[in-house]
A and B are shown apart, each in its own frame.
Chain A
């Protein structure tokens, strides 16, 4: 793979590229899904190819070929140069300097998830499903997955990197239904469960079968729960809901390519501008956000990003003040700060984009119970159900699968169809407490969409339960 990546770079430079990088990628994905006691899906998929990105006269070009041989690599290089030459528009493209990098990285793990027999995976899913079964539960679903990505990166400025990233995960869902009401309850999240880098031990520690009875019982209990009333009140978000809030209202708006408008037509832009760096108050002093591509088990963990920039941990928001953007070498050079480090591509057939790696809400102090103690009246919301945010990442509306009233510091009755809404910096300004490190949890999501053609990034976020005052809840049609 190294030889063909280098052949692609040589071919691109020979054809006139001032810069070129080539990623040779071999990807394997496996999943097992059971539904209502039957095997619903059992798949083992591989994909391999080379993606070549070039700069010609300041214009980017990219081509992907679904073969791993030198002829295909050189052909992709030639086509990428051809496309760059044809691209209209005048531009000057500078890249932040990068010392020549060479190295390798491999996900540490105990038990390779691809060594786990499919029968063992199916049995785990079926056990978890069995645990969720209740009289009004109409659908039970369990899923486990595994992925191995082996990739080699070579660039015309001396980068030579080899990495093998392994991840796995799983999740369960129960759908209960009665009359005109249908409710879903999931664990650990609704978004295809939760994944992390590492071996099968990551899936085992999720305890899908252990949590299943609670998930089934809560799905049924939601059918007779009261609807969330409309109010302005204090809310406490579970770590899983807090990370969705973080992902949408901090992660995406701090992607520097969005700030510069290159995602405007599809995913949107950002309410942030380059001049906000170091100046903008994003939220309260309790708000501390870090981007960390070194987090153990993070889906955004690597040795080097897809431009060859070494993994790093940096502050994005410190005590409520914007301190950093997520960047590439190109956007870092444009803003004159940072070195990049967030360029990631979905497989071999897509151009790298600025993506989140692992973005965390840093913990505060105290327990979940202590967080509730200071709430005379409010809501606790758990597990994301719906999510929507505007094209500048300002106005958002989220729904949670389940909520409970908080009365005098204690959880009270269960509520269904809970929603809350707000405007990003105003909302984060209402953050008045984050629970401590002992409550902090990491969630890995595999469905972060961006780009045209579309790319799905795998990202992780960590958070402890977080409390916000004066939030509008109970939005309904």
Chain B
């Protein structure tokens, strides 16, 4: 039994009146953050957050603490009950989850779990040593995350997961390049690899030129693809945005909206991603095919949105952590089907004339219903000429409708890559996108920004 489950059961035992659910989200982690090849912000965190949800007469209240002694757990259950008493009955509330079976998933690795501060510093050093010609910026992190959900309705879910991430920006005053690696098994992650890749990209970015705004064909590395899909998902791929008519999918389910090569699922059960058995309500995770061969199929659901939608809808196991509750259910394990291309060079050959984008920066949703996003490219933007990656470019501002970007896709790389999506805010929740590199006929550039480098 995990520490999280022990705390959850202890908290539940102190319930006084009404139904109750307890979620415990525990973390033991280390982040060796480096800049200019020096670890400058190393952070160790050891914490367990207890969130209680109490239901009384159809009224719901929440409370949370990070104390785990019985007295304080009793207090937090009491505060959740008081909050429930203060609320109004919610006719849409579907009740707490029922007990059920959970899928067997991987996602915990003892070697990764056993890493301590010295190991995290050592692995950061391995990255730094692999990029001697540039300053290296980024971090190595590893951690153990435990999530447990128990309820007075008999629900009991418990999972421990590990993750290790190394992100690398190799940079100096006039050059920069990016790469990263993510895995739930540290043995599969060599920090030197992303460092070398970032440095190799950086070396090609010196002397960047500008580009006239316009619509270009583009090759997007997996890092860029993951960011686009992530930002598209906030309004368009979850049931809340769908029900509230902010989603691009509204009125289009069953319609072929994208190139037939585009298939996107959310698949937290996959061993190739960071596997999870259940969501933050304790509902078992399901694989959800959101786009299949270019046809819009579905969004992801939690218990509240499924109840609101009515008959024919059920939770797919996508209730979010508390910090994201504003968005409603969200996909957090994107899985995008690969294509036929063996490399990004082959994608450039398919494009012929266009731009090559390594990474994106600071995206924002311009028009949720239209799926319009803006942002910048960075750390490896190049011109593609005659089917080959050519001279470097300054960072470019793009303003794109995702329906345009995915409308005509000459190709995708065969092997998807796991790209970290966890920005390490709030409690640690490892999640990542399994996506290939992608070539598109239409990527709308609306301006130019700074050059590569620091």
Contacts and interface: CB of A to CB of B under 8 A. Distances in A.
Given A386-B374, A397-B397, A449-B425, A89 B47 contact: no
Contacts of B374: 386, 388, 397, 475
Contacts of A271: 450
Nearest to A45: B64
A1 to B, nearest CB: 15
B395 A477 contact: no
B446 A86 contact: no
Contact of B425 (A46, A181, A453, A475): A453
A454 B425 contact: yes
Interface stretch (B38-46, B260-268, B282-290, B338-346): B38-46
Interface in A13-41: 38-39, 41
Given A42-B87, A122-B86, A395 B404 contact: no
A38 B42 contact: no
A236 to B, nearest CB: 21
A268 B171 CA distance: 12
Interface string B267-291: 0000000000000000000000000
Interface in A78-99: 79-80, 82-84, 86-91
Interface in B84-121: 84, 86-88, 90-92, 117-118, 120-121
B139 interface: yes
Contacts of A90: 38
Contacts of A138: 244-245
A449 to B, nearest CB: 7
Contacts of A76: 44
A424 B355 CA distance: 25
Contacts of B306: none
Contacts of B395: 390-391, 395
A397 B36 contact: no
A76 B60 CA distance: 37
Contacts of A250: none
B128 interface: yes
A417 B367 CA distance: 8
A399 B364 CA distance: 10
Contacts of A180: 251, 369-370
Nearest to A120: B86
B366 A399 contact: yes
Contact of B364 (A38, A87, A387, A395): A387
Interface string B365-407: 1111110101110100000000000000001010111001000
B38 A83 contact: no
Nearest to B48: A66
A47 B251 CA distance: 43
Interface string A250-276: 000000000001111110110100000
A429 B121 CA distance: 45
A239 interface: no
A423 B51 CA distance: 44
Given A390-B449, A421-B397, A421-B446, A48 B44 contact: no
B87 A39 contact: yes
A48 B44 CA distance: 16
A392 interface: yes
Interface residues of A, number: 83
Most chain A CB within 10 A, of B65, B122, B138, B401, is at B65
B258 to A, nearest CB: 15
A452 B41 contact: yes
Interface stretch (B11-19, B27-35, B154-162): B27-35
B449 A394 contact: yes
B137 A265 contact: yes
Most chain B CB within 10 A, of A84, A139, A391, A452, is at A391
Given A79-B117, A86-B122, A44 B83 contact: yes
A57 B135 CA distance: 21
B90 A39 contact: yes
Contacts of A86: 42, 117-118, 120-122
Given A138-B245, A177-B245, A395-B448, A118 B86 contact: yes
A351 B41 contact: yes
Contacts of B120: 83, 86
A65 interface: yes
Nearest to A261: B454
A205 interface: no
B167 interface: yes
A427 B325 CA distance: 36
Contacts of A181: 369
A117 B79 CA distance: 13
A349 interface: yes
Contacts of B84: 42
A390 B397 contact: yes
A67 B62 CA distance: 22
B400 A477 contact: yes
A350 interface: yes
Given A64-B47, A91-B38, A477-B401, A182 B369 contact: yes
A38 B304 CA distance: 13
Interface string B113-143: 0000110111011001000000101110000
A156 interface: no
Interface string B156-178: 00000000000111010000000
B244 A386 contact: no
B46 A265 contact: no
Contacts of B38: 59, 87-91
A423 B171 CA distance: 23
Nearest to A47: B66
A399 to B, nearest CB: 5
B3 interface: no
Given A44-B79, A351-B43, A397 B425 contact: no
B363 interface: yes
Most chain B CB within 10 A, of A59, A175, A182, is at A182
B313 interface: no
A82 B118 contact: yes
20 contacts: A38-B92, A39-B59, A39-B87, A39-B88, A42-B62, A83-B121, A87-B38, A177-B246, A177-B369, A182-B245, A264-B171, A351-B41, A388-B376, A392-B449, A421-B397, A453-B31, A453-B45, A456-B425, A475-B374, A475-B399
Interface of A: 38-39, 41-49, 59-67, 76, 79-80, 82-84, 86-91, 117-119, 122, 126, 138-139, 175, 177, 180-182, 261-266, 268-269, 271, 349-351, 353, 385-392, 394-395, 397, 399, 417, 419, 421, 423, 449, 451-456, 475-477
5 smallest beta-carbon distances between A and B, as pairs: A89-B38, A395-B449, A454-B425, A86-B121, A45-B64
Given A87-B39, A89-B128, A395-B397, 7 more contacts: A42-B86, A43-B61, A67-B67, A265-B139, A389-B362, A395-B447, A397-B397
